[in-house]
């Protein structure tokens, strides 16, 4: 019997292997924020940034375990947003479905803009819009050929990021053990704790560090949807999600610790990539070009994941809504891929190329993309509420992939995400986007409230 979801649609073909998922899961927890933004976060928070990453990583892990338990209980679903409709209600589901899809699309537009910027490092004469269209066509084709090709592409994108971080960590350890001297001082593990202070730049900057780190983790939930594309999701899902804490500890905390080992944290500039500084120290003159290549693949990887995730969500939307204009997006290709959903999602992301040639609305674009990132926090909260309601339902699977200490950690995670959102209003750089996302919450929340209380079958 053919597999179907609760909406009656035939899900996309499962074509990812375990090795794809494991590497994608690692790469999914590593973003350009680490390569380009680590210096900024260390500059403002100092060594305590390690604790901030631990705290944020803990609550993101709780959310991922909640998503994992839901998908494990019902592996037919290819997006966790479905569970918000099922366990919170159609109105909340309507808000989450459309908000999440639009948020991910805006995220893709931001990544596509970044891709153009990185390519122009080598080819400054190429127009941004041309680079964006070219990259979008390539990755759209990747998403249309087969799920396995998407997995293979992400596998190598992730491999590049992992090798870069391993090279940084290995370089730092060697420099520390050999007593290497730099223009700013000796390389030593003691640099991390020298003149240690919990709030070296004030309590306000410590609080702001949470939002900087939080945004570095946004998109981690793509791992759950990737696992849903495997032939044996119940076997792969626990492995992929349970390894997240170790990846965070090793890759994020390991990289940050080594950076502060090489450079005294008080002297790390906020506006320069620590990766560039470290590789230049060991004599790699083309360090800037190397890091530019890494962040280019990182942005391309994020864009690839956006096309994959957003198209699956839009495909699900076409079944969850009875609107006639959405019916064509139910179409599947011969290789069982949601072809029209992928093409429409790519078309929406392509508006980034249009925006790039209209300088007058550059600030507006930054505003929209920043505000959409804030919406992730709202969706995370709705996901955790859905999880708590699932535990009270008849669907609860007592022998499933269970969250650890759910009665304590899940409510704490909800409080934490709400806390991060509130802090956005106290930072001048994030205040306007926070206001914008709040307006979206109120306006689209009212529109969602006008929807039927129960989904129309």
Q: How far apart are CA 174 and CA 180, in angstroms?
A: 8
Question: Each residue of 233-267: b (16+ CB within 10 Å) or e?
Answer: beebbbebbeebbebbeebbbbbbbbbbbbbbbbe
Confidence (pTM) = 0.84
pLDDT tens readout for residues 150-191: 778 888 888 888 888 888 899 889 989 998 888 777 889 988
Q: What is the pLDDT of residues 321-361, one digit of tens each?
A: 777 888 888 888 777 788 899 999 999 999 888 777 766 55
Residues of 383-404 as b/e, b for ≥16 C-beta within 10 angstroms?
A: bbbbbbbbbeeeeeeeebbbbe
Residue the block writes with tokens 């994992």: 68
Tokens representing 146? Answer: 């087969």
At the topology level of CATH, where does 18-449 sit? Amino acid/polyamine transporter I (1.20.1740)
CB 140 within 8 A of CB 343: yes
- Rounded to 10°, the helix 90-119/362-392 angle is 140
Give residue 150's region: left, alpha or beta (phi > 0; psi -120 to 50): alpha
The pLDDT value given to residue 332: 82
Q: Where are the domains of the chain?
A: 18-449
pLDDT of amino acid 221: 80
Residue in 254, 234, 114 with CA at minimum distance from that of residue 170: 254
pLDDT of residue 3: 46
In this prediction, the residues of the chain whose per-residue pLDDT falls under 50 are: 1-4
């Amino acid at each position: 019997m053919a597999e179907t979801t609760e909406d009656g649609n035939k899900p996309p073909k499962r074509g990812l292997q375990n090795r794809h998922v494991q590497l994608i899961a690692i790469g999914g927890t590593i973003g350009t924020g680490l390569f380009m933004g680590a210096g900024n976060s260390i500059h403002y928070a100092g060594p305590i940034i390690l604790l901030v990453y631990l705290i944020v990583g803990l609550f993101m892990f709780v959310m991922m375990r909640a998503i994992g338990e839901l998908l494990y209980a019902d592996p037919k679903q290819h997006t966790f947003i479905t569970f918000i409709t099922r366990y919170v209600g159609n109105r909340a589901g309507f808000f989450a479905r459309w908000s999440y899809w639009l948020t991910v699309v805006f995220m893709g537009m931001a990544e596509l803009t970044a891709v153009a910027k990185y390519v122009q490092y080598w080819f400054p004469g190429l127009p941004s819009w041309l680079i964006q269209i070219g990259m979008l066509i390539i990755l759209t084709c990747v998403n249309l050929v087969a799920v396995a090709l998407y997995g293979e592409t992400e596998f190598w994108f992730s491999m590049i990021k992992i090798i870069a971080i391993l090279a940084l960590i290995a370089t730092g350890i060697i420099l520390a053990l050999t007593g290497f001297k730099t223009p700013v001082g000796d390389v030593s593990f003691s640099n991390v704790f020298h003149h240690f202070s919990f709030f070296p730049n004030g309590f306000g900057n410590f609080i702001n560090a949470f939002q900087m780190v939080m945004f570095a983790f946004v998109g981690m939930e793509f791992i759950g949807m990737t696992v849903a594309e495997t032939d044996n999701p119940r076997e792969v899902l626990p492995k992929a999600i349970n390894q997240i804490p170790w990846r965070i500890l090793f890759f994020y905390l390991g990289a940050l610790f080594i950076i502060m080992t090489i450079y005294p944290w008080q002297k790390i500039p906020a506006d320069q990539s620590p990766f560039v500084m470290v590789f230049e120290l060991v004599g790699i003159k083309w360090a800037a070009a190397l890091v530019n290549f890494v962040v280019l693949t990182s942005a391309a990887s994020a864009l690839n994941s956006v096309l994959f995730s957003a198209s699956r969500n839009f495909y699900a939307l076409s079944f969850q809504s009875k609107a006639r204009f959405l019916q064509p997006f139910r179409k599947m290709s011969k290789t069982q891929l949601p072809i029209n959903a992928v093409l429409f999602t790519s078309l929406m992301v392509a508006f980034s190329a249009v925006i790039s040639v209209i300088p007058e609305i550059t600030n507006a674009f930054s505003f929209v993309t920043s505000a959409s990132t804030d919406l992730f926090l709202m969706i995370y909260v709705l996901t955790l509420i859905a999880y708590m309601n699932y535990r009270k339902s008849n669907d609860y699977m007592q022998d499933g992939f269970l969250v650890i200490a759910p009665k304590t950690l899940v409510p704490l995670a909800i409080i934490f995400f709400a806390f991060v959102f509130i802090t956005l209003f106290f930072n001048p750089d994030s205040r306007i986007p926070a206001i914008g996302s709040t307006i979206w919450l109120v306006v689209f929340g009212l529109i969602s409230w006008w929807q039927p209380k129960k989904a129309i079958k």
